[in-house]
Structure 1
Amino acid sequence: MYTDHAALDTASAIATVPASVGNVGDKHRQSYDETAAKAIAAADLQSFQPSGEDEHANFHGLVLPTEEERNTLRRVAGKMPASCYYLCAVEFAERASYYGCNQVYKNFIRAPLPPDGNGSGATKPGSEYTAGALGRGAVTATAMTEAFKFLAYALPVYFGWLADTKYGRFKMICWGVAVCGVAHIIMIISAIPSVLMSGNAIGPFALSLYMLSIGAAQFKPNISPTIMDQSPHKVAHVVTEANGEKVIVDPEESINSVMLWFYLLINIGACTGIATSYLAKLVGYWAAYLIPTILYLLLPPLLWFLNPRLVKQPPGGSDLGNVFKVLGDIFAHGGLKKIGREGFWELGLPSVRKAAGSTKTYNYDDQFVDDVRRTFQACGIFMFQPIFNINDGGLGAAANALTAGMKNEGLPNDLLDNLNSVSIVVMVPFMNHIMYPFLRKMGIKWGPISRMTFGFALCTIGSIGYSVLQYKVYQTSPCGYNATTCAEIVPEGSPSLSTVSISLYSIPVILTAIAEIFVNVTAYGIAYSRSPKNMKGLVASINLFTTAISAAIGLACSNAIQDPYLVWVFGGCTIAGAVLCVIFYFTFRHIDQEEFVINTDFSDMKRDSDAESDLGHSDKKVLADEKKIPSKNSIEKSYSVMRRGG
């Protein structure tokens, strides 16, 4: 981390408040309001100063750890505000509607109306036919669903930028909810039996599908940064447990903890796919699309309730223009020869440019250039995710084609895909309450790159299973290497499925699902912490854009995602994932040693309700005074003072 030591004037430091946040128990750690209130109620701080007695510095009454304490004390997650968990509930309702429908899209598009069905896409009970409606085949199903996914994860780059610059994240979330609500209604209409049997369902369905992608693109890049905006833990600080143990309340652990719950609720919502799979097969697609729509109706009242209670980052104009100015300075002064080498980013530091004789006026400081460096590192990390996304469930509709040829014992062939969400629902509480606390207690820091590498490796191991299963299906299917469409080839009533049980499909699904906990949850924190304050929505959307890249690859390969090529469709991606996993670790492992930094502070903790009332407790009001809040750069300077002994 770059620190401008020359700019530090230790003689101007003023006295700080010696009070800490006090002793708290392990199960009763200070709440969000208490932490913020104590910080904001501290004396007027313009800078930091180490205490003469114990070499500690204070940040608004929070005791900053010394260098020794940072290396030796156990780190814990601080308590997060209730608004974080209400926002997780918002994500639950939105993802329940999204995944509840998404679960049945491929069969809806690929398979025709079952000959023994009721005209709504359902089959006769116990039938070996799969539910279906449009009968457009695997290639079209892959093309439409991957185009949907591409739009849902590519458009966030635009909407994330709009939220940062013009409209704000919360307003963009509300607009996305409105668009998706209309899309859900049109989708139900497209699945009504009379529309399906008329042969005209593809029009309204396609309209609703791509409207849903636009609404999701407005919602998705803004919800996770909004949750992390609520965190009061802006800097690591020392507290004393009831048993006398000193611990560090760690911003990274705090955010990781709440984002695990965020990811848990995403996947609880995604479990609605179990219900929609059965509804599609037993009742019809109109019912499968109705349930997610009902869940979606939870969103408007929940957002109305949260509106005055949230910390909302106002649109402040994107820092993107300044990013290009930094890059322009770097490349104008020999940066092209230093790409990937030490000293590249120093060429863009305002202090360096001014020392070299520049008279230009800079709208940013050296710390901003370091933030840009960290942002580009984050984007480099994200570029390894497309192959992970592909191996996590297969390329395009390949996994759906695999299960279509397996012995399903009367179950919907896409039912076991829901084990992805179920596995995450089971594992997240285990990781949050058992594994991560155990590692912290043992003093083991499992850094973000190590966690992501473990996830990449686990996903690669799981994806091997898809190739093996597809090979076995081809070997045992009555139609050999035409296993996916065998039911359409053999005479009606003849065996059309492989003897390989669909239950074996659960093995790769579970392994790749667990891998998501280590990769996706960590990526949320990286996107938030390694981006400038006015680019958090944009960087979060770049993280999401990696899914669009994997969807584009699936779209480009859609003609290959069919018999008899499916073994290599799975196998080729698995090999690529194994190679990139190794490259990823050795490229970014140094980041595990860096301190977690949040580019917001207490001055960003104002809620709408703070302007109107004290929510019943004036001492818990979270309203920061801009003049009392040191910048993040000041925190770095404070640590520099401690390292130099004052």
Structure 2
Amino acid sequence: MGQKYEELDSQHHSFLDSTKDGIELNIVTEPVDVEGSSKSPIALYDTSSLRRIPGNIPAVSYLICFIEFSERLSYYLIQGCITNMIQRRLPHNSTSGAVMDDPANSNESPGALGLGLPIATFLLEFMTLIANLSPLVSGYYSDTRLGKFKTIIIGTIIGVVGHILLVFAALPPVLKVVPLSFAITGISLITVAVSAGFIKPNVMPLLLDQYTMLDDYPTILPNGENAIVDRKATLERMTLIYYLFINVGCFLAFVGSFIERIWGFWVVFLITAVIYAILPILLWFLKPKLRLTQPTGESIFDDVVPLIKQCFSSGWLRRVRYGQFWSYTPVNDTFSHVTMDQLKTTFQSCIIFLYFIIFNVNDSALTPIQINQSGSMKTDGMPNDLFQSFNPLAIIVMIPFQNHALYPLLRWKRIQFTSVDKITVGFALAGIGSIFGAVTQKIIYNTSKCGAYASTCDEVSPISAWWSAIMFSLQAFGECFATVSCYEMAYSRSPENMRSFVLALFLTTYSFSSVIGEFISYFAYDPNLVTIFGWCGGLGVASSVLFYYHFYYLKVEEKE
């Protein structure tokens, strides 16, 4: 009996299953080579022995990635400077927050409001909390009412307003009135966070929607080799490129460290406002070129809630005990946009998301403390918040290595490096990064003239701040494995009409991490910093082991 797989791009293949002498064959009819010419039919006795390769990526995908590049560049320019602006006092003779006395060689850091590290950490984590809770709203309305494209447009409009407010808050006359500047800064950061929340959960699903193949298909490479074009590998490569664009934007944000040091904070925020203003123009240009999926017009909960009720109907405890909770056959799900199998995989993804709470604490919630650590060491005239740029720089280096060396080599060797493996490695690397931070902080305490109170010492530790690069880089490598894999899983393992909302659920884990970060901020002062780094790092490594054993069955399923 035949089974056809229709391609939605320029190539067209169909698979016919048959048997010969008791051996099952997968016969590929009308195979097309890279130039589009027909070849004779190929009989593949064992398609599992064929090399799996990623497919072609639509050109418009790179322009979609540029949307996220612009948004992230603007966002991280703000985030990179806001800790210094709130935490530290105005430098000597400064009205704008810039370092006035020999900025090229001074160890003095930019500052403005002088409200301390706990308040700076609190506001930064609150911004992150809002940025990762608002996607629940935007993701829901994107899937049901607005569509991904309209939701992104709304986010850009909100963002322009927030950036204008931030420029005003950082003007030298306003900085003189600390309560006023702080209040406007808080409002603007919340607005920018909401803007990010409307954009982030929709750009990546919009990007992956541009790849129209629904399944794997065979192809013939220019060298005559038979191969399988793998949908999962293609989506993974698109996600890696998307994440590369994000981190190019993050890395270029390091220029903000020099701008704030030389000209002050208001100049940085003016640049972010101009960058954000580009997004509506880019979206207008892109719209005719995009494949846009229409929202269902119906609440996703109308589909999901009845299925959940059926799962918890009579006998559910017995089904849980025998591992058959999802084996329940609903009375009628014909008219539902979500099937029981899709609900099961979505639920599994949500459990995976929970493990990212500890990962995100190590990777992002500790950022203000990490920046503070850099400021406690010898910077030789370099801005202390510059060193966090090693996170995106390491990602910029790692992603091409993954895309063009590591993953192709593993596929060539027929080694299945599953999503579970990647996430496990990512968790472990992030935890090791924080453990390295604990060791570095201990050395700072031992070498500082103020001992275990180095953060507020007038003289910095003689240790070079460049050691911070190792901590930031390890956590960045963790993102390349863990976060990228989870993005792809959030898209591919969720129903089409829930993809933005499911990705929003993943982003919500950052909010839980931010809550933990808010709690940590109350203790984020000397001499507690070694303990904070150590505990977070230890929990990160432990969570990697627990995750691997918890989801080993998914690793087995993916291999099969």
Contact persistence 1:157–1:538 (CA under 8 A): yes
Whole-Å separation in 1 of the counterparts to 2:209 and 2:28: 22
The structure, 1 or 2, with the larger RCO (C-alpha pairs under 8 Å, 6+ apart) is 1
After superposition, where does 1:234-249 map in structure 2 within 5 Å?
234-249=214-229
Whole-Å separation in 2 of the counterparts to 1:453 and 1:361: 36
What are structure 1's unaligned runs of at least 5 residues?
1-9, 22-31, 43-47, 354-359, 488-495, 598-646
Contact persistence 1:318–1:535 (CA under 8 A): no
Q: Deviations over 1:576-595 (max 9, x none)?
A: 11111111001112223435
Which residue of structure 2 lines up, in the alignment, with residue 6 of structure 1?
none
After superposition, where does 1:279-298 map in structure 2 within 5 Å?
279-298=259-278
Which residue of structure 2 lines up, in the alignment, with residue 356 of structure 1?
none
Closer/same/farther in 2, CA of residues 222 and 62 from structure 1, 3 Å limit: farther
Whole-Å separation in 2 of the counterparts to 1:254 and 1:451: 16
After superposition, where does 1:49-68 map in structure 2 within 5 Å?
50=17, 55-56=25-26
Whole-Å separation in 2 of the counterparts to 1:197 and 1:361: 63
Contact persistence 1:65–1:248 (CA under 8 A): no
Q: Say which SS state the counterpart of residue 377 (structure 2) adopts.
A: coil
Q: Say which SS state the counterpart of residue 247 (structure 1) adopts.
A: strand
The offset of 1:558, in angstroms, is 1.6
- Pick the aligned partner of 2:136 from 136, 148, 157: 157
Which residue of structure 1 lines up, in the alignment, with residue 36 of structure 2?
none
Which residue of structure 2 lines up, in the alignment, with residue 550 of structure 1?
513
Letter in 2 for 1:92: F
- Pick the aligned partner of 1:182 from 133, 154, 161: 161
Closer/same/farther in 2, CA of residues 212 and 272 from structure 1, 3 Å limit: same
Contact persistence 2:27–2:44 (CA under 8 A): no
- The reply on whether 1:577 has 2:553 as its aligned counterpart is no
- Pick the aligned partner of 2:349 from 357, 373, 378: 378
Contact persistence 2:333–2:339 (CA under 8 A): no
After superposition, where does 1:388-399 map in structure 2 within 5 Å?
388-393=359-364, 395=366, 397-399=368-370
Closer/same/farther in 2, CA of residues 62 and 549 from structure 1, 3 Å limit: farther
After superposition, where does 1:438-453 map in structure 2 within 5 Å?
438-453=409-424
Which residue of structure 2 lines up, in the alignment, with residue 106 of structure 1?
83
Whole-Å separation in 1 of the counterparts to 2:234 and 2:403: 11
The offset of 1:246, in angstroms, is 0.8
Whole-Å separation in 2 of the counterparts to 1:74 and 1:255: 17
- Pick the aligned partner of 1:332 from 294, 313, 316: 313
After superposition, where does 1:5-404 map in structure 2 within 5 Å?
33-35=9-11, 38=12, 50=17, 55-56=25-26, 69-124=46-101, 125=103, 126-199=105-178, 200-316=180-296, 317-339=298-320, 341-347=322-328, 349-350=329-330, 353=331, 363-364=335-336, 368-393=339-364, 395=366, 397-404=368-375
The offset of 1:158, in angstroms, is 1.6
Whole-Å separation in 2 of the counterparts to 1:569 and 1:189: 35
The percent of aligned pairs where both chains have the same amino acid is 34
Closer/same/farther in 2, CA of residues 290 and 361 from structure 1, 3 Å limit: closer
RMSD (Å), alpha carbons? 2.6
The offset of 1:429, in angstroms, is 1.1
- The reply on whether 1:432 has 2:403 as its aligned counterpart is yes
The offset of 1:62, in angstroms, is 8.9
Closer/same/farther in 2, CA of residues 553 and 387 from structure 1, 3 Å limit: same
Whole-Å separation in 1 of the counterparts to 2:320 and 2:206: 34
Letter in 2 for 1:34: S
Whole-Å separation in 1 of the counterparts to 2:546 and 2:82: 35
The offset of 1:59, in angstroms, is 10
TM-score by length of 1: 0.80
Which residue of structure 2 lines up, in the alignment, with residue 620 of structure 1?
none
Whole-Å separation in 1 of the counterparts to 2:226 and 2:177: 71
Closer/same/farther in 2, CA of residues 137 and 374 from structure 1, 3 Å limit: same
The offset of 1:273, in angstroms, is 2.1
The offset of 1:121, in angstroms, is 4.0
Which residue of structure 1 lines up, in the alignment, with residue 392 of structure 2?
421
Contact persistence 2:76–2:250 (CA under 8 A): yes
Whole-Å separation in 1 of the counterparts to 2:29 and 2:200: 33
Closer/same/farther in 2, CA of residues 223 and 69 from structure 1, 3 Å limit: farther
Which residue of structure 2 lines up, in the alignment, with residue 478 of structure 1?
449
Contact persistence 1:100–1:271 (CA under 8 A): no
The offset of 1:235, in angstroms, is 0.3
Whole-Å separation in 1 of the counterparts to 2:29 and 2:500: 27
Closer/same/farther in 2, CA of residues 567 and 68 from structure 1, 3 Å limit: farther
- Pick the aligned partner of 1:525 from 488, 497, 514: 488
Letter in 1 for 2:187: L
Q: Say which SS state the counterpart of residue 314 (structure 1) adopts.
A: coil
Contact persistence 1:401–1:562 (CA under 8 A): no
Which residue of structure 1 lines up, in the alignment, with residue 471 of structure 2?
508
Whole-Å separation in 1 of the counterparts to 2:333 and 2:424: 42
Whole-Å separation in 1 of the counterparts to 2:343 and 2:376: 49
Whole-Å separation in 1 of the counterparts to 2:222 and 2:107: 62
Closer/same/farther in 2, CA of residues 196 and 427 from structure 1, 3 Å limit: same
The offset of 1:49, in angstroms, is 5.3
Q: Say which SS state the counterpart of residue 219 (structure 2) adopts.
A: strand
Please say which structure displays the higher CA radius of gyration: 1
The offset of 1:181, in angstroms, is 1.2
Whole-Å separation in 1 of the counterparts to 2:275 and 2:367: 27
Contact persistence 2:98–2:264 (CA under 8 A): yes
- Pick the aligned partner of 1:540 from 493, 496, 503: 503
